[in-house]
Structure 1
Amino acid sequence: MRDGFIKVAAGTPKIRVADCRYNAEQIFTLMREADKQGVKVLCLPELCLTGYTCGDLFLQPTLRRGAEDGLATILEATKNLDMIAAIGLPVWNKYDNKLYNCAAVIQNGHILGLVPKTYLPNYGEFYEQRWFASGAGVDVMIELCGEEVSLCRSLLFACDDLPELVIGVELCEDLWAPEPPSAALARAGATVLLNLSASNELVGKAAYRRSLVSGQSGRLVCGYVYADAGEGESTTDLVFGGHNIIAENGTILAERRFASGLTISEIDVKRLAYERQRMNTYQADRNRESWRICFELDLSDTRLTRPVSPTPFVPQNESDRAERCNEILYMAALGLKKRLEHTGAKTAVVGLSGGLDSTLAVLITAVSMEMLDRPASDIIAVTMPCFGTTDRTKSNAVLLAERLGCTLKTIDIGRAVKVHFEDIGQSMEDHDVTFENGQARERTQVLMDIANQTGGLVIGTGDLSELALGWCTYNGDHMSNYAVNAGIPKTLVRHLVSFISDDKEAEDPQLSGVLADILDTPVSPELLPAIEGKIAQKTEDLVGPYELHDFYLYYAVRWGFPPRKVLRLAEQAFGRAYDRATLLKWLKNFYRRFFSQQFKRSCLADGPKVGSVALSPRGDWRMPSDAVAQLWLEELEDLK
C-alpha cells in the first residue's frame, strides 16, 4: 500500500446453484488464497453465495436463510484477514418486504455495509424484476448476521490509513445503464469501483464489456475491478465465462476469461488522486460525506505485478507503435504546415548534422512541404562541419538531403569560429563550455541569416528530452522559428526515424539505408575534436541514458510522483539492466538538471505538443527559473 499501490483482485469461485454452504466454502477459500497473495481489496461476482441463475428460488425463504447463514460462515472464517471483500447475495428488507440484489462489503468478520443493485435488467434473457426491487432511493438500517448494517446504494468505504483509497460499489447492469451509479460515487470521492457481475457470454459481448470497463475507468479517473460469474452457474439457457477485468484510468491492467480463481493487479490510488487534482473539470460532490464508512488496513509494501514499461512514451505493441509514429509525424507536420502558411515563408531552413534529431526535423519538414504541395527543394538543408564533425555524420547528412530532394548547403564554420575565438581571447586548446557553445551559436547564426536571405523559417531540431535536461546551448540550438521536435522525447525520436526507414525500404533503399546508419550513430553534439575520426563526445556518457531520463520525465512531470516512487518504478522497469546505484545516480542528475535548466524552457520557441508531456511555458509546464531542487534531492539522499 505504500506509494499508493493497493493490490486488488477480481475472483470467480466455482459454485453450485442454490448450494449456499458449498458456495460459502468456495468463497472463503478464495479469500484466504487472495490474502496469501497480498490482496487488500477483493471483488466477487453478483449473487455468488446463491448463484445468479436460481430463478424463482430467490422467492423462497429457505434460499434467503441459506445465503445469510453462508455469509455468517464467511465472516467467521475470514475474521482475521486484513482485507476488504465484496460478496454478492440476496438480502430481504423486512421493513418494505422487498428482496434486493446486494453486495455485502465485509472486513475482519464484520459487514461494513450493503449496496443494492439499482438497474435491474428485464429484457432478453434477464428477468431480475421478477424477484428483486431496485435499490434506487433505498437508505435504511437492517439486521443481517446479527449486525445492524446500512442498506444504501450511495455508500463509500474509506481507508483511514490510505486516504486516497475510497471504494464504491455497483452491480452488473448498473455499469450498462445511461447513468451508472459509479459516476456519482466517483464524484463523491470513490477512487476504486467494484462491480459484482453476472454477465453471460455471447459472441462479441466480451469486447463490448471490456470497452465499458476501460472506458468507465478512464472517464471517472478511477480503478475499476469487474468480477464476473463463471463456472457452476446454470447452463440451462446461458453460459457464464468468468470474464474478470481490472482497469485503471482507461488502461486494462489484468484480464481473465473462461477460468475460475483470482485475477490480480495493483491500482495506484495516489496516481488517480493526482490526476483528479490536476483536472479542474473533475468536479467533486462534497455533499456525500455522511455516506462514508471508514475502515483500517495495515500499511505494508505491495509487491508489484502490474506492467511497468521501461519506455512509457513508446507503445510495446508493434502495430500500436506504428500507429503512434504515423500519428505523431502528421501532427508535427500539420503544426509546421500552418506556420509556413501563416508566415508566407518561402523556405524552411534546417541545420542537418547527420544525427537523429535533425534527421527527424527534416523528415517532418518534408511531410509538411508535401501537404502544401510544394517541392522538397524549398527545404534548405545546411550542414555545418566544424572541429568535432566526423566523416560519417557529414556524409549521412549530405546523402539524406539528396535523397529527400532538399537544397543542400555545406558551410564550414571552423574559420568563422576561430575568428570569433580570437576576438574574445578564447584559446583553441581550451575545450571548455565556451569552446562548445561558440560553435553551437555560430551554427544558429548561420541558419537565421540564411532564413533571412531566402525569406524562410529556421526549423528547430531539439527534442523534449533535451529540453528537460537543458542539453542545448542557450540562444544556440535552443532557439529557432518553429521547433517541430519540442514535444517528442528522445526514445520516441529513435522509433519515428526507424518507422520511416522501414516504410521507405522498398520505395527508396538508399534513403532507408542512410536512416538506418543514422540510427546506429552514437548521440552526440560533436562539439569536441574527433579522436582518430571517431566521435569523441557521447551525450549519454555525460548526462546519462536517455531511456532513463525519459522514464524519469514521464513519472516526475506527467504524474507528479515523488522521487522515492519514481525510483521504485524504475527498479521495477529496469531492474535487470541497471542496478539501484546507477538508477539513483542518474535520477539525481535528472532532478538537478531539470531544475537548474528551467530558464531555457522559460523562453522556448513555438512548437507543437504531440503527447501527454510537454514543457512549453505557454502550455503544460509553468515553473519559476529559480526554483530549488533541494527537497527532491534530499528525498533521494535517504534512499542510499
Structure 2
Amino acid sequence: MRDGFVRVAAATPDVKVADVTFNTDKIIEGIQEAAKKGVKILVFPELAVTAYTCADLFEHRPLLDAAKQGLRRIVKASVGSDMLVFAGVPWIYSGKLYNCAACVQNGHLLGLVTKKWLPNYSEFYEARWFTEGFDEAVEVNFDGETVPMGSKILFACEEEEDLVVGAEVCEDLWVLLPPSISHAQAGATVIVNCSASDETTGKSDYRRTLISGQSARLLAAYIYANAGEGESTTDLVFGGQNLIAENGSVLAESERFKNGMITADIDLERLAAERRRMTTYREEGRKNYRIVRFSLKESDEPLERFIDPSPFVPGNPLERQKRCEEILNIQAMGLKKRLMHTNCKSAVVGISGGLDSTLALLVTARAFDLCGIPRKNIVSVTMPGFGTTDRTYNNACKMTRILGAELREVSIARAVTVHFEDIGHDINVHDVTYENGQARERTQILMDIANQTGGLVIGTGDMSELALGWATYNGDHMSMYGVNAGVPKTLVRHLVRYYADTCGDEALADILKDVLDTPVSPELLPPEDGKISQKTEDLVGPYELHDFFLYYVLRFGYHPARIYRLAVHALGNEYPHETILKWLKTFYWRFFAQQFKRSCLPDGPKVGSAAVSPRGDLRMPSDAVVKLWREELEDLV
C-alpha cells in the first residue's frame, strides 16, 4: 500500500456442504495465498464457512457450533498478518440466526456485518432460517473480546484516511436502497460483498452491470466474491463470478465455473479526487455508524494495475472508432450553432498541411454540411513563409480542393520582412520575434479575410498546445471559434486517421495519411535541404508524455511524484526514467507560466472529461507559483 494504491482480492474456495473443517481449511489456504500476493483486503463468499446451500441444516446446532469453531481457526490463522479478511458465517444473537460477513485481522474478529435483506422468492428461502439484519451495531462476545455486530459498521484505516471499508451481503446489493449507499454517504470508499448468487441464463451480464454501476454511482471500489463449485446442485448451480470494480470500470473478473482468486490494485487517491471534484457527491456523516479502526503496513509491491499510456485515447479499436465519430460530431455541432447564431455563411481556416489545421478544416466541412451551406463558402488560406516545405504546402492545397473549399494563397514573406524592417529586427536572427512575427501576420490575414467574406476565423490549436502555452499570444492563439480547443494532440492524430479510414475518398485518404506521417512543426524556421527543420516535440517534449501528464493534472490534481510513478509504470519501456522526469518538469513550468494565454481563450467545445477553458474546467490564476510542484520533483532526483 503506497501512493493510495491498495491490492485487494476476491476468492471462491472449494467447499463441501456442511463440512466446516474442509471449508475452513480452504479459506485459510486462500488467506495464505493472498498474503504471498501482497493483498490487503480479501473477500470470501456468503456463508463460506458452512457453504451457502445447507438449507434446513442451518437449524441444526452442530453445524452452527462448528461454524463458530471454524471462525476461531480463521481468526487464529490471521495472526501476524495485517490483511483485512471478510468471510460469510452464520451467527446466533439473542436467540435468532443471522447471515453475517465476519471481518478478521491479525488475530482479532473486528466485526460482524449482518445481511439486511433476505431473499424469499423464486429459488431463495433465506427467511426460513435467518432473521433480517439490523442497522445499529450491538455488542457481542467472541472468546472474551467485545465485537460490534450490525449493518452500520465501517472499518477505517489508521494510516490511509481514504481507506474506509463497508460491507454488504449478496441480496443487499440487489434491492431498491442498498446498504452500500448509506456506507458511501458515511465515507466508505471500498465496498465488499460476500455473495452466493446462483447462475441462470443472462444473469452474469446483469450481475456485472449491477456491480460496475454501483461502483460508479458510489464513486467507490467494489469487491464481489461469489459462491462457486462445491455448493449443492440439488436445484441450483453457482458459477463463482468474482468481480472487482472501481468507479464504473471492472478491474478484474474471474472465469465462471472455476473456483479461484482474482486480485487488483484499487486507486484510493483517484476515488478521493473524484469525490472532491464532484460537488453533487455529498457525504452525510457517520451518524449511527460504528467505526472500527485497523492498521496496515506500507508495502512496495510493483503495481499490477494497468495504467493506460494514452488516457485520452480508447485502447479498444471499436470503442476508439465510436469515440472519434462522437467527437467529430461534438466539434461540428458546436461550430454549427455558432454559424447559425451569427448568421455567418462563410468560415476562414488557415491551412498549413499539419495535423491541427487539417482536423479544423475537416470539422468545418462537416459543420457546413450540417448547416446546409455549400463548402465553397469555406475559405481555406495557405500562407507560405520562411519555414514552409513543399510537402505541407502541397498537402494543404490538394486537401482543400478535394473537400470543395475555396483555396487562397497569401505569402507572408514580403509583409513580415517589411515588418521586421519597421521594428528594426535583423531577419537573420531566428529568435522568438522572428517566429512570432510570422504567426501574428498569419492571424491578421485570416481576420481580415473573415471581414471581407463576413465569416468566422476557425481556430486550429489543440488542447495540448494550450496546456503547454505552445501558441503565439494573439497569433495562432486567437480565433473566433476554436473547434480543437478540447482535443489533446494524441487524440487529434486518431481523429484524422479515423476520417481517412471512413471518408470513402481514396485521394483524400492518401493526403490525410501523409499528413499523419509529417513531423509536428510550426514551420517558422527555414527548412534544411527542403525538409522540416523545426520539430515541436524536440523542443517541448513528446506529446504522448505531455498528454499523460495533462490528464492526471487536470482530472485528479495528483502529486507530481505520483504522476511520475504512474508515467514510469505506463511508459517506462518507451522512455528512460530520467527523460520522463525531465519533461514532467517542463510540463509543470510551462503549464503554470502560460496560464495567461488560457485565461483569454476563444470559445470552443469541450469534448472529453477534461478541458482548459477558463469558463469551464480550469479556473486557474495566471500568476500562480509553481514552486511546490517543482520542489517535489526535485526531491525525486
For structure 1, the residue ranges without an aligned partner over 5 or more in a row are none
Where does residue 364 of structure 1 map in the other structure?
363
Does 522-531 or 368-377 show the bigger shift? Answer: 368-377
User: Is it true that 1:228 corresponds to 2:226 in the alignment?
Assistant: yes
Q: Output the CA distance in 1 between the equivalents of 2:229 and 2:143.
A: 27
TM-score (ref. length: structure 2): 0.99
Q: Distance in 2 between matches of 1:435 and 1:574?
A: 36
For the residues of structure 2 that align with 1:594 and 1:280, how far apart are their CA atoms? 25
The residue correspondences of 1:299-310 to structure 2 (distance < 5 A) are 299-310=298-309
Distance 1:202 1:210 in 2: 14
SS at match of 2:600: coil
Distance 1:376 1:230 in 2: 62
Q: Residues 388 and 528 of structure 1 are in contact (CA less than 8 Å); yes or no, is this contact kept in structure 2?
A: yes
Q: Deviation of residue 202 (structure 1)?
A: 1.4
Q: Does 1:550 align with 2:547?
A: yes
**1:532 counterpart = 2:529:** yes
For residue 269 of structure 2, what is the aligned residue in structure 1?
270
Partner of 1:334: 333
Offset of 1:146 from its aligned partner? 4.2
Is 1:378 aligned with 2:385? no
1:125-144 to 2 correspondence within 5 Å? 125-137=123-135, 139-144=137-142
Cα offset for 1:237? 1.4
SS of alignment partner, residue 213 of structure 1:
helix
> Residue in 2 aligned with 1:89?
89
| 2:255 corresponding residue in structure 1 | 257
- Offset at 1:378? 1.5
- Does residue 522 (structure 1) correspond to residue 512 (structure 2)? The answer is no
Note if contact 2:345-2:373 (Cα within 8 Å) is conserved in structure 1: no
Alignment correspondent of 1:347 = 346
1:349-428 aligned within 5 A: 349-428=348-427
* TM-aligned CA deviation for residue 145 of structure 1: 4.3
| In structure 1, C-alpha distance between the alignment counterparts of 2:136 and 2:593, rounded to whole Å | 57
CA deviations 1:537-590 (Å, max 9, x no partner) are 000000000000000000112111110000100011012111110100000000
Cα distance in 1, alignment partners of residues 630 and 259 from structure 2: 47
Deviation at 1:495, TM superposition (A): 0.3
RMSD: 1.0
Aligned mate of 2:608, from 591, 601, 611 = 611
| 1:74 aligns to 2:71 (yes or no) | no
- The answer to whether the 8 A contact 1:68-1:144 is kept is no
Is structure 2 residue 627 aligned with structure 1 residue 630? yes
Please say which of residues 57-66 and 536-545 is displaced more in the overlay.
Answer: 57-66
Asked if the contact 1:35/1:82 (under 8 Å) is kept, the reply is no
What displacement does 1:261 show?
1.9
Q: For residues 610 and 278 of structure 2, what CA distance do their matches in structure 1 show?
A: 15
1:257-287 Cα offsets, whole Å, 9 max, x none, are: 2222210001111111111111111111114
- For residue 131 of structure 1, what is the amino acid of its counterpart? W
d(CA) in 2 for partners of 1:127, 1:404:
68
Secondary structure (helix, strand or coil) at the match of 2:557 reads: coil
- Could you say what secondary structure the match of 2:87 adopts? strand
Superposed displacement of residue 138, structure 1: 5.2
The structure 1 segments of at least 4 consecutive aligned residues displaced by more than 4 Å after TM superposition are none
Partner Cα distance (2:289, 2:511) in 1? 66
Q: Give the total of aligned pairs.
A: 636
Worse-matched range after superposition: 627-636 or 138-147: 138-147
Partner of 1:466: 465
Tell me, in whole angstroms, the C-alpha distance in 1 between the residues paired with 2:126 and 2:540.
Answer: 63
Instruction: Write the distance in 2 (CA, Å) between the matches of 1:154 and 1:211.
Output: 25
Which whole-Å CA distance do the structure 2 matches of 1:519 and 1:620 have between them?
A: 29
Q: Equivalents in 2 of 1:336, 1:192: separation in Å?
A: 43
Secondary structure at the counterpart of residue 7 of structure 1: strand
Equivalent AA in structure 1 for residue 88 of structure 2: G
Q: 1:448, CA displacement in angstroms? A: 0.4
Give the secondary structure class of the aligned counterpart of 1:129.
Answer: helix
Q: Which residue of 2 aligns with 1:443?
A: 442
Q: Are the structure 2 counterparts of residues 637 and 137 from structure 1 closer, same or farther at C-alpha, using a change threshold of 3 Å?
A: closer
Q: Does 1:574 align with 2:554?
A: no
Greater mean deviation of Cα atoms: 250-259 or 577-586: 250-259
Paired position in structure 2 for 1:194:
192
Determine if the alignment matches structure 1 residue 42 to structure 2 residue 42: yes
For the 8 Å contact 1:6–1:302, the answer to whether it is kept is: no
Please say if residues 215 and 246 of structure 2, whose CA atoms lie closer than 8 Å, have aligned partners that are also in contact.
yes
CA contact (8 A) 2:152 2:288 kept: no
Percent identity, aligned pairs only?
59
Q: Which residue of 1 aligns with 2:500?
A: 501
Distance 2:578 2:288 in 1: 45
- Structure 2 residue runs of 5 or longer lacking an equivalent are none
Say whether 1:115 aligns with 2:87: no
Supply the distance in 1 between the matched residues of 2:244 and 2:12 (Cα, whole angstroms).
Answer: 13
State the partner residue of 2:183: 185
Q: How far apart, CA to CA, are the structure 2 residues paired with 1:580 and 1:485?
A: 31
**Letter paired with 1:545:** P
State the SS of the aligned residue for 2:206: helix
Shift of 1:144: 3.1
Counterpart code for 2:216 = G
Q: Deviations over 1:199-238 (max 9, x none)?
A: 1111211111111111111110001111111111111211
Matches within 5 A, 1:12-23: 12-23=12-23
Shift of 1:147: 2.9
One-letter identity of the residue aligned with 1:35: A
State yes or no: 1:163 paired with 2:152: no
Counterpart CA distance in 1 for 2:128 and 2:141 is 24
